[in-house]
Amino acid sequence: MSVLVYINSANGLHKSAFEAVTYGKKLGGDVTVITTGNTDSGTLASLGKYGASKVLVDRSFKGEDDQQLTRVIASAAEQTAASTVVFSHDLTAKAVAPRLSVRLKAGLVSGAIDVPSGDGTVKVNVFSGKAFGAVKVNSGKKIISLLPNSLQPEETGVDCGVEDFNGNAGESKVKVLSTKKPEGEIPLPEAELVVSAGRGLKGPENWGIVEDLAKALGAATACSRPVADIGWRPHHEHVGQTGVAIRPNLYIAAGISGAIQHLAGVNGSKVMVVINTDPEAPFFKAADYGVIGDAFEVLPKLTEAVKKFKASGN
């Protein structure tokens, strides 16, 4: 069996790339990586450590047109006779994997959270994380797009070879006029630690205490929907049913009531800490650790405690 893993290396290699290659390795068989762009071969070779036997890189294709990228991945799938193509379930995968599914006539499982079980079905979140579904792929070829933070990357091997590849991207019908990328921030869906706050913070000028805690922990920041809607925080921080769905190791929520639509985007978190003045806040029912208290006092105290803990050598 041959597995092809698509890696977005445009901004270097992230943990989600190592997760996807590890996942491909766990499927069994030979793992080839396909990527595009300028990342140097030495960096790409390190994907071998996670189980890739070779990396194909289309250096002539630097664009981001999903239709072109689909062609490149399809030709790599053909060349390697891949029976399964693996993506990390990010925004690129959401645009490209469905196209590839039609092109290869390969059943697509999006948002997989585990390796296939004994009967070959793949576990996914359904109903906004309130339940799991077991998806069976009936076609010979499969595409699996893996939700970030669903498994730990495993280093099992050594660097692998990197080969130039021409995927015949063809023409682009999409013209990019401008790209805005915030520098240096941890992309929310990939963050392992997230500090989030809601309307209980009373106003945008109070977010300093949220950012301080995030900084002390090395966490990303998030918020509830009303906070993004009234413009206290940028839209990309909005988590929940209508925002981003995340599954970090730790989700700290301060001044968020825990409405069902909010929970829908965060209940895949491994551990949840809730800070709220109201002991009846519904969020406590979903939390692992609860603090009944004023966020304006608790957050700075927690930040101090985290700093102390880090200073003690952790």
Partner 1 sequence: MPSFENLGFMKILVCISKAPDTTSKIAFVDNNTRFDENGVQYIVNPYDEWYSLVRALEIKETIGGNVTIITVGTATDEAVIRKALAIGADDAVRIDADPTDAYYTAVQIAEYAKTNGFDLVLTGKETINYNGSQVGGMIAEALDLPFISLASKLDVNGTTLTLEKEIVGGLQVVEVALPAVVSCAKGMAEQRIPNMRGIMAARTKPLQVVAPVAVDLLTSYEGYSMPAAKSACKMIDPSNMDELVALLHNEAKVI
Candidates 31-39, 75-83, 149-157, 186-194: pick the segment binding partner 1 (CB under 8 A).
Answer: 186-194
Write the Ramachandran bin of 292: left for phi over 0, alpha for psi from -120 to 50, otherwise beta.
beta
Does position 66 interact with partner 1 (CB under 8 A)? The reply is yes
Does position 37 interact with partner 1 (CB under 8 A)? The reply is no
Type of residue at 221: T
Does position 77 interact with partner 1 (CB under 8 A)? The reply is no
Minimum CB separation of residue 313 from partner 1 in Å reads 12
Does position 67 interact with partner 1 (CB under 8 A)? The reply is yes
Long-range Cβ contacts of 171-176 (<8 Å, 24+ apart):
171/68, 172/63, 172/65, 172/67, 172/68, 173/65, 173/67, 174/65, 174/66, 174/67, 176/63, 176/64
Query: Binding mask 224-253 vs ligand FAD (x if CB under 6 A, - otherwise)?
Result: xxxx------------xxxx----------
Minimum CB separation of residue 214 from ligand FAD in Å reads 17
Output the DSSP codes for 207-243. Answer: THHHHHHHHHHT-EEEE-HHHHHTTSS-GGGBBSTTS
| C-alpha to C-alpha distance for 146 and 92, rounded to whole angstroms | 12
- Position among 45, 186, 259, 273 found at the interface with ligand FAD (CB under 6 A): 259
| C-alpha to C-alpha distance for 161 and 41, rounded to whole angstroms | 9
Residue 13 · residue 47 · CB < 8 Å: yes
Closest to partner 1 by CB, 44 or 122: 122
Residue 28 · residue 86 · CB < 8 Å: no
Residue 193 · residue 216 · CB < 8 Å: no
- Position among 133, 161, 203, 204 found at the interface with partner 1 (CB under 8 A): 133
Q: Could you say which of ligand FAD, partner 1, none residue 180 binds, taking C-beta under 5 to 8 angstroms by partner kind?
A: partner 1
Q: Could you say which of ligand FAD, partner 1, none residue 265 binds, taking C-beta under 5 to 8 angstroms by partner kind?
A: ligand FAD
Q: Could you say which of ligand FAD, partner 1, none residue 276 binds, taking C-beta under 5 to 8 angstroms by partner kind?
A: ligand FAD
Candidates 22-30, 47-55, 203-211, 268-276: pick the segment binding partner 1 (CB under 8 A).
Answer: 268-276
Residue 146 · residue 112 · CB < 8 Å: yes
Cα end-to-end span (Å), the chain: 43
- Position among 109, 194, 252, 295 found at the interface with ligand FAD (CB under 6 A): 295
Does position 227 interact with partner 1 (CB under 8 A)? The reply is no
Binding interface with ligand FAD (CB under 6 A): 198-200, 224-227, 240-243, 254-257, 259, 261-262, 265, 275-278, 281, 294-296
